[in-house]
Structure 1
């Protein structure tokens, strides 16, 4: 602790201030000139978390505008159903688009109740503005947005962010509005993209061929969410295309999330034998034992995580035991929870599909 009259070095103050929430940083900046300088230095703002709660209604600190250029990675949390919170978040994103071409990572997270269907237009317009301005953007995570994402956003990212490495669009929307053509243009425009989260309906056979093309940079993760009516109607992706992709990208990991909107016939189209599934999350309104048994037969060499929300049954127990036996030489984990849409008290029997060699 510094003696009275002494001042901690600016780099030490910056190390402390970087762990403070936004309002506390603003308070620290008002203490003295030395603290104001430390609170505004780039080390404090390189990785920034901002929560736009209603208590902050229109209270973005004035000194924040001088610090926007220093932000490289931003996680922004807000409540879209509450107008003041959404307004502050939108204002911040708009200001960020106009001030910081050096932004490299943006993650948006919504809290609280889901907003009205069209309540996200202002936020998505601001995200598109950032994609237009931030040429160095490498990571964009929109998984926690409840809004319907569209082709315009994906195309803006494709044309404005050539350095993109990861993009997550597999959010909780009720309507899938990102077409396969937009995703194909994204893959062709962003050759370094190695992590992609999509709704199933946004993925196509030509996209798999682009990922499997000679000279394509290693692709690490493909996260597929199957939750919309469009996902249920999506055509099957040929097993041969998955096999070719797996040969070309041996390090590829696929995560699959199946939700109640997927009928049994759609599930069988999604779960192709050659898909290198590492995580399988099942929250189906119908049969769950069948997909678990399929995973045991075809994914035992790659599966790391299995999550099942379903009613307990002898068939499901049998399928889990088969999976555990197939994964006996590897470490995997399985978790069974309450069925989708049922009270939490009606839990399924937990089954550990974990066996170590």
Structure 2
């Protein structure tokens, strides 16, 4: 097999190695000089996923250090409660901060439970260090970090990464530390930003007006998570601000994720007619029937995905059938409670673009798997 490998062109070897897990790629780099050259080429490392639980222990440090220059898009996974995994992630990010000019995309994912009273200062500090040097960074995704993201991090990203095209800060945290003023500074410093994920309390009328400015580049996606106490206390931007933003960016899609922290009054204020909601995720502790009916009434032309987590009821079934009749462009519907057969029939008959659904007619063991349509 080695003889065969030695006869293959470097670009073919590199393509093969790009499909291997990093530990196998590192092992291949030690076979011979030709394999080492191919295994450390930019083709292999352009899009890189690293799990700090297993990969780093098996990798050859010299190869890792050399190859960081070729990493353009990095997906880094770690477990904060595991000291070894956490330290490996911090060390790798610190290494990237020293050689980050080529980095274009960074996505961080934390698995497992976050230790109690853990602010994640070490991990967030390493992310800030990357932002200080990665001047060409285009995509930064922090949705899977379970720590409070604050103004300092946003401002560092704004001034260190002016080429940002997407930034996602809508993470699962109990506290939102990003104020609208920092978002305004971000929009000013990053004129090419096209996608932004925030908590609701980070958005104000001034933020929407900045996005709707005449000289703003086309803006495509605004993902809003409404889950923490700050979101529950926030006053949503008025409907006319959303209407102006929608007029300026007719292709804009809004993703809304509503969590139990919101009262019924807050939910009603958030679900305004002018918001171009494409994705709506409802996980409410109170009324869910009302929001489903509002979605059917307000977002018939824009809604593409609906997720509902609620208790079974005849009223919910009726609301879902009403929505199916209104939202012909719907592509996904996922309801995590048992529904009656007429609900399933309504979506299959009235939503010709439907591609995936979770509509169970009887209880099944979790996790429930969606049904895919061709």
What's the TM-score once normalised by structure 2's chain length? 0.89
Pairing 1:152-163 to 2, within 5 Å after superposition: 152-163=152-163
Q: Give the superposition deviation at 1:114.
A: 2.3
Q: Give the superposition deviation at 1:38.
A: 1.1
Instruction: Structure 2 unaligned segments of length 5 or more: list them.
Output: 353-374
Distance in 2 between residues matched to 1:118 and 1:84, nearest whole Å: 16
From the superposition, tell whether residues 59 and 120 of structure 1 become closer, same or farther in structure 2 (CA, over 3 Å). Answer: farther
Say which SS state the counterpart of residue 101 (structure 1) adopts. Answer: helix
Distance in 2 between residues matched to 1:147 and 1:60, nearest whole Å: 31
**Superposition RMSD on alpha carbons, in Å?**
1.8
**1:258 alignment partner in structure 2:** 258
Q: Give the superposition deviation at 1:62.
A: 2.8
Pairing 1:276-315 to 2, within 5 Å after superposition: 276-315=276-315
**1:50 alignment partner in structure 2:** 50
**2:336 alignment partner in structure 1:** 337
Pairing 1:235-274 to 2, within 5 Å after superposition: 235-274=235-274
Is contact 2:303-2:330 (8 Å) kept?
A: no
From the superposition, tell whether residues 263 and 4 of structure 1 become closer, same or farther in structure 2 (CA, over 3 Å). Answer: closer
Question: Which stretch of structure 1 is more off in the superposition, 272-281 or 50-59?
Answer: 50-59
Q: Give the superposition deviation at 1:75.
A: 0.5
Say which SS state the counterpart of residue 25 (structure 2) adopts. Answer: helix
Over residues 243-283 of structure 1, what are the superposed CA-to-partner deviations in whole Å (9 max), with x where a residue is unaligned? Answer: 11111110000000001111111111211110000010000
Is contact 1:57-1:85 (8 Å) kept?
A: no
From the superposition, tell whether residues 90 and 60 of structure 1 become closer, same or farther in structure 2 (CA, over 3 Å). Answer: farther
Instruction: Structure 1 unaligned segments of length 5 or more: list them.
Output: 339-346
Distance in 1 between residues matched to 2:55 and 2:331, nearest whole Å: 43
**1:177 alignment partner in structure 2:** 177
Say which SS state the counterpart of residue 67 (structure 1) adopts. Answer: helix
Say which SS state the counterpart of residue 295 (structure 2) adopts. Answer: helix
Is contact 2:200-2:226 (8 Å) kept?
A: yes
Say which SS state the counterpart of residue 237 (structure 1) adopts. Answer: coil
Say which SS state the counterpart of residue 279 (structure 2) adopts. Answer: strand
**2:372 alignment partner in structure 1:** none
Distance in 2 between residues matched to 1:105 and 1:89, nearest whole Å: 16
Say which SS state the counterpart of residue 38 (structure 2) adopts. Answer: helix
Q: Give the superposition deviation at 1:56.
A: 4.6
Q: Give the superposition deviation at 1:61.
A: 2.8
Q: Give the superposition deviation at 1:7.
A: 2.3
From the superposition, tell whether residues 349 and 121 of structure 1 become closer, same or farther in structure 2 (CA, over 3 Å). Answer: farther
Is contact 1:312-1:349 (8 Å) kept?
A: no
What's the TM-score once normalised by structure 1's chain length? 0.93
Question: Which stretch of structure 1 is more off in the superposition, 49-58 or 166-175?
Answer: 49-58
- 1:36 equivalenced with 2:36 (yes/no): yes
